[in-house]
Structure 1
Amino acid sequence: MASVEVSLKEIMTAVEGALGAAVVDYSSGMALGTLGGGKELDLTVAAAGNTDVIRAKVRTMEMLGLTSQIEDILITLGSQYHLIRLVTGRNGNGLFLYLVLDKSRSNLAMARHQLKRIEENLEV
């Protein structure tokens, strides 16, 4: 099992093209940890904003009567991918991993695979 800090370091080193990563509590919108980012990528602001994305999707699924669980949500921008993966482990209920990728330097399929692997080992 890996801590938040170790998991974030692993995301940033294992995922090609990673620009920033965060572990976020979507009940509060607070980031439990961030790594990377910068002046143009405020991960704390992104954590709060993406909490709203998850809440909206959960509400929509409830209205539609969908019973499946969200695995991940992908937002594609001109030069970036924003990947949100809900943590499903025993200690991760209410958390998500947030990863920003440079679109020109990343492999989305590999990033999703690595994020799933890291999510499975996250211990909060």
Structure 2
Amino acid sequence: MMFLISFLWVCTGMGTLCLAMDRHAKQAGYFPAKAGAGGRRLFGAMCLAGALYLTITDLGIGMGIGMGTALWGCQASLAGWLIAIILPYRAKWVPRIVAGSAIAAMAGILIYIVAGWAPQIG
């Protein structure tokens, strides 16, 4: 479950970084203000960092640093590849994919916490 949530966060981060670039944003029919590009880049980086944190902590610190980082790299490669494949053919889908994966990741985190699956710290 956590790996799926982590993958959704990676998709959100990669898509947001894609939309932070003027060329890809115009291609997707998304015309943001130039001043907001820095915020989109920061949000994308935070999503990627959060996904890395989730992947490492889900496997435990001992195994998570090596395996979690490798798994996160695979997730980032797959998400970037998916965005790169979708962008030339269905560019209008990219903002919807970003929004949908962000909403699904937030819902997954809430379900994870409410259901009591989150590891207890302390």
Q: TM over 0.5, yes or no? A: no
Flag the structure with larger Rg. 2
Q: Which structure carries more relative contact order (alpha carbon 8 Å, separation 6+)?
A: 2
Query: Counting strand residues as a fraction of each chain, which structure ranks higher?
Result: 1
TM-score of the pair, normalised by structure 2: 0.35
TM-score of the pair, normalised by structure 1: 0.34
Query: Counting helix residues as a fraction of each chain, which structure ranks higher?
Result: 2
